[in-house]
Amino acid sequence: MTAEPIYGLMAEFENPTDLVHASKAAFEAGYRKMDTYTPFPVEEAAEAVGAHHNRVPLVCLIGALLGMIGGYSLEYWVSVINYPINVGGKPFHAWPAFIPVTFECAVLGASLATVFGMLALNGLPQPYHPVFNVPSFTGATRDRFYLCIESQDPRFSISDTRKFLESYHPLQVSEVPY
């Protein structure tokens, strides 16, 4: 059989426990290019596939700093440099009055950065992805748990990997076509 290039092999499990076992084993077996798909966050699975850390917090911090500096400097520039007016005898640089806006700007910047940073890092929105080609994959948002080892992985070979996955008695193992 002339095998067309496939995206990978996907094993479907009934509960998170089995998924985590299989994933851990796969990692120990040296597989790296793999991912799990679950209807709700399963921390162990994420760790198993090696997704420990992410850069979302960093993005958030940058956003916060930008918002904060931007907000305050806007207020300062407007009230002290660009158009200083005597307002009720208050000083031009009335810093206590500038704090609320500065704070709100910081929060706004942080939130926007976090959300859009997260989406960007996740590569979302993404209309097409091979895993959706697996007929039974709809379970991934319902009550099934999937482990997909990708063909890009150096140690990937259809037969061995299939054997390896089946050894963790999944409900089924299916090929993920491109």
Partner 1 sequence: MPNKTDSHPNLISPDEIKPASLELETVRKKLAGANGPKYWRTLQELADQPALGELLQREFPRGAGEWLDPVSRRGFLKLAGASLALAGLAGCTRQPYEQILPYVRQPEYLVPGKPIFFATAMPFGGYAHPLLVETHEYRPSKIEGNPQHGACLGGTDLFAQASVLDLYDPDRSINITYKGEPRPWGEFLGSIRARVLYHNSNQGAGLRFLSGATSSPTFGSQMRAIQQVFPQSKWYRWEPAHHDSFRAGSKMAFGAYYDSIYKFDAADVVVSLDGDFLSGSWFPGFVRYARDFMTRRKDPEKGMNRLYVAESAPTTTGAKADHKIPARNAEIEQIARALAAKVGVAGGGAGQLSAEHQKWVDAAAADLIQHKGKGIVVPGVFQSPAVVALVHAMNAALGNAGQTVTYIDPVEIDPLINTDSIRELVGEINAGKVETLIILGGNPVYDAPADLDFGGVLEKFVADQKNMVLQLSIFKNETTDFATWHVPEAHYLESWGDARSFDGAVTLIQPMIAPLYDGKSANEIIAIFTDEPSSSGYDLVRAYWRSQHTGDDFEAWWRRSLHDGYIANSAFPAKQVAAKLGAVPAAAAVDPNAIEIIFRPDPTIYDGRFVNNGWLQETPKPLSRGTWDNVAYISPKMAQQFGFFVLETDGIAKSDSEPNVNADHQSDAQNVLEITIDGRKVKVPAWPQPGHPDGAVTLFLGYGRRKTGIVGTGTGYDAYSVRPVGSQYTGSGSIQVIPEHWDIAITQGHFTMDTREPVKAASLKEFLEDKHFAHDEPELEPRENESLYPDYRDKGWYKSNAWGMAIDLNSCVGCQACSVACYAENNISVVGKYQVQRGREMMWIRIDTYYAGDPANPSVYFQPLPCMQCEDAPCEGVCPVGATVHSTEGLNDMVYNRCVGTRYCSNNCPYKVRRFNFLLFADYTTPVLKLQRNPDVTVRSRGVMEKCTYCIQRITAARINAEEQGRYRDGRIDIRDGEIKTACQQACPADAIVFGDINDPNSRVAKLKSQARNYSVLAEVNTRPRTTYLAAVNNPNPELEKA
Partner 2 sequence: MATRIDEEIDVIPPKGVRPPIIGPGQTLGTVADRIGGIVLTKHTPIFWLMIVALAVALFGVLNTAIAYLLGRGVGIWGVNIPVGWGFAIVNFVWWIGIGHAGTLISAILLLFKQGWRTSINRFAEAMTIFAVMQAGLFPLLHTGRPWLAAYWLFPIPLTMGVWPQFRSPLIWDVFAVSTYFTVSFLFWGIGLIPDFASLRDSAKTLFVRRIYGILAMGWRGSAKHWNRYESAYMLLAGLATPLVLSVHSVVSLDFAVAVVPGWHTTFFPPYFVAGAIFSGFAMVLMLAIPFRYLYGMQDFITLRHLQNCAKLMLATGLIVAYSYSMEMFIGWYSNDKFELGLVHNRLHGPYSHYYFVLIFCNIIAPQSLWFNKVRSTPWILFLVSTIVQTGMWLERFVIVVLSLNRDFLPSSWGMYWWTKWDIMTLVGTMGFFVLLFFLFIRFMPAISISELRTLLPQSKVKE
Residues interacting with partner 2, by CB under 8 A?
15-17, 20, 35-46, 48-49, 51-52, 54, 56-57, 60, 71, 74-75, 78-79, 82-83, 85, 87-88, 90, 94, 97-98, 100-101, 103-105, 107-108, 110-112, 114-115, 117-119, 121-122, 124-129, 131-132, 137-143
| Minimum CB distance to partner 2 smaller for 87 or for 163 | 87
| Minimum CB distance to partner 2 smaller for 2 or for 86 | 86
What kind and span of H or E run contains 7? strand 6-13
Shortest Å, Cβ 113 to partner 1: 28
Task: In whole angstroms, give the CA distance from residue 152 to residue 119.
Answer: 24
Contacts for 114 with CB less than 8 Å, ≥ 6 apart: 56, 59, 60, 63
Residue 81 interface partner, choices partner 2, partner 1, none, CB cut-off 5-8 Å depending on type: none
Contacts for 44 with CB less than 8 Å, ≥ 6 apart: 16, 20
Q: Which of 82, 86, 126, 159 binds partner 1 (CB under 8 A)?
A: 86
Residue 46 interface partner, choices partner 2, partner 1, none, CB cut-off 5-8 Å depending on type: partner 2
Q: Which of 87, 99, 101, 121 binds partner 1 (CB under 8 A)?
A: 87
Task: In whole angstroms, give the CA distance from residue 155 to residue 66.
Answer: 44
Shortest Å, Cβ 159 to partner 2: 25
Task: In whole angstroms, give the CA distance from residue 76 to residue 106.
Answer: 16
H helices of 56-157, where?
Answer: 56-76, 95-122
Task: In whole angstroms, give the CA distance from residue 131 to residue 163.
Answer: 20
* Interaction site with partner 1 (CB under 8 A): 85-91
